Structure 1
Amino acid sequence: MISLVRRTTALCVLGAALAACGTSGTGQTPRPAPSAPAPAPSSSPSASRTPTLAPGPAGLTPVFEHGPRTDGAKDGRKNGKTVALTFDADMTADQGPRAASGERFDNPQLIATLRRLKVPATVFMTGRWAEEYPDQARSLGRDPRFEIANHSYSHYAYTDDCYGLPTVSKDDMRADLERAYAAFEKAGVPNPMPYFRFPGGCYDKAALKELSATGVTAVQWDVVSGDAFATNADAVTRQVLDGVRPGSVVVMHCTRSAAPVTEEVVRAVVPELRRRGYRFVKVSELIGAANGRG
């Protein structure tokens, strides 16, 4: 989640929905990021069925922003309009003392609401969050309603000049990503998805090149919720509802201390989008549709 240390610059995140500071994830033997998850229970995508995008030009890591812009009426699909709600579970390595003093970087009420409303979602989790909340990480990973994806270990930026974030050196980018997968494994998260969200949403050709060997698909978004540091749930709700189109990926956050109104927003957005004919899906379904498999 956006670092509270940087409150003075946090409002810029409303345009990008992300910023943070942390400690680089080097110094451990990393677990390689899977090009596809290991074989999974029937409730989760199997390795052979996990949708990813083909590498980009020159083999660069592919970038996904939204699914097909169709309402299903013209192409005969019975499932109608789809939208993916995604939640960044952010925590950085330097925030341990703040968690120990009582600051909450999790949001169990939000997760409970998603379960109660039967909304599938994709959670982009930092490795540090999984270390701080291993029981919650494991619970999310074992719930077929959710899929866990990678948001780096440290939440350092993978480019320079990314909302004031510290940066991961080019040589450490892959290790930082892989260390997050190692943290997921230690927490007991089964079958994390081969999807990666850049901290701050910032990337360039060099970053895409460095991560190409991991086999991940980079996942961005086309709807910024503006929930980071927001205190007006109605304004965030309007921003989401005004931005959603068929195939949209909405970026939100799963951290009480820095996104306190998100659960309230979800309670308002979900019934309204369903009234408009939308069906909630995980990112994997949108990527599968983009590949012609949905």
Structure 2
Amino acid sequence: MIPVARRITAVGAVCALGAALAACGTSGPARQAPARSTVSVSPSPARPPVLAPGPGGLTPVFEHGPRTRGKTVAFTFDADMTADQGPRAAAGEHFDNPGLIAALRALKVPATVFMTGRWAEQYPAEARDLGHDPQFEVANHSWSHYAFTADCYGLPTVDADGMRADVQRAYTSLRAAGVPHAMPYFRFPGGCYDQRSLRRLSGLGVTAVQWDVVSGDAFATDADAVVKQVLDGVKPGSVVVLHCTRSAAPTTERVVRTVVPELRKRGYRFVKVSELIDQADGQR
């Protein structure tokens, strides 16, 4: 489903909603892993920056970095696979996009991958490859990719009592797949959250990461339209939501190969989400 922006009045924050069947990585284990880029990227810090909890320990929400700290932009990619999509993967549907990952490496673009635990279980070699590459940081996108609110693009919902367990199970799956340092960042499936879900995740130490630029790549067939939407939306400190599956976001590699050189011409520097959060936390 194509993300759109709306306001969640219960928390007074903008929630740009989006969900697509998207995933990152390389194809099956039999395929040789792509060569790593020699991009000069600092590994994620031993203690990644997070935002301070809100009143009463409420899970904090991050949407974009500072607008006055230079032209930085973070590309984020949702590695989505829901709990019930195993049969589709077994039937040959690809929840990966090796061409996109290769493009990011060739273009030397750092990125943050929000990965579901179910995807990591399906593609442990790919999860491990991304988790060990300092050009990327892997964060939590739930285990099931079920919604944490009602009315979220038709996704099945997680019971309120199961929300914490779903997030914790995702971290367990990431570790089991070989991701050594999954970041303390969580992206709600579909981008859908409310005050109840923020309360349910209180105490886990995660920062909920949203975005301020909707790429529109989910199920898009017109790469030029997606390119325009990204270029028109990016501002200093922006977080861009993208997807990387060959079946549900077929234009994304072309979009990245076009947008990255253009943003660099405009003076932008690509960073991971952790750097933007660190900048934002420094202003507090």
Give the TM interval when normalised to the shorter protein.
0.7 to 0.9
Corresponding pairs, count: 255
Unaligned runs of 5+ in 2: 6-15, 22-40
Question: For residues 144-201 of structure 1, what are the alpha-carbon distances to aligned partners after superposition, in whole Å with 9 as ceiling and x for unaligned?
Answer: 0000000000011101111111110110000001111111011001100000000011
Q: Which amino acid aligns with 1:209?
A: R
Task: Find the aligned partners of 1:56 and 1:261 in 2 and give their Cα distance.
Answer: 38
2:210 is the alignment partner of 1:212: no
Q: CA deviation at 1:60?
A: 0.1
Structure 1 ranges of 4+ moved more than 2 A: 13-21, 42-48
Partners of 2:206 and 2:17 lie apart in 1 by: 22
Tell me if the contact between 1:20 and 1:165 (Cα under 8 Å) persists in the aligned partners: no
Q: For residues 10-21 of structure 1, what are the structure 2 equivalents within 5 Å?
A: 10-11=1-2, 13=3, 16=16, 18-19=18-19
The question of whether the paired residues in 2 share the 8 Å contact of 1:123 and 1:146 is answered with: yes
Where does structure 1 lack aligned partners over 5 or more consecutive residues?
1-9, 22-41, 73-79
Q: Distance in 2 between matches of 1:153 and 1:142?
A: 20
Q: What residue identity is the alignment partner of 1:256? A: R
Quote the residue 1:175 is aligned against: 165
1:91 aligned residue: 81
Q: Match for 1:19: what amino acid? A: A
**1:97-132 CA deviation, whole Å, 9 max, x = no partner?**
111111101111100100000000000000111111
| Correspondence 1:44 to 2:43 | yes
Aligned: 1:159 with 2:159: no
Q: What amino acid does structure 2 have at the position aligned with 1:147?
A: E
Whichever structure has more helix as a proportion of its residues is 1
Q: Percent of pairs identical after alignment?
A: 74
Aligned mates of 1:135, 1:64 — CA distance in 2: 30
Q: Please show how residues 102-141 of structure 1 align to structure 2 within 5 Å.
A: 102-141=92-131
CA RMSD of aligned residues (A): 1.8
Question: Compared with structure 1, are the counterparts of its residues 14 and 208 closer, same or farther at alpha carbon in structure 2 (3 Å cutoff)?
Answer: closer
1:1-294 to 2 correspondences below 5 Å? 10-11=1-2, 13=3, 16=16, 18-19=18-19, 44-48=43-47, 50-70=48-68, 72=69, 80-292=70-282
Partner Cα distance (2:265, 2:66) in 1: 20
What whole-Å deviation, never above 9, does each CA across 1:21-67 have from its counterpart, x for those lacking one?
9xxxxxxxxxxxxxxxxxxxx9533333x110000111100000000
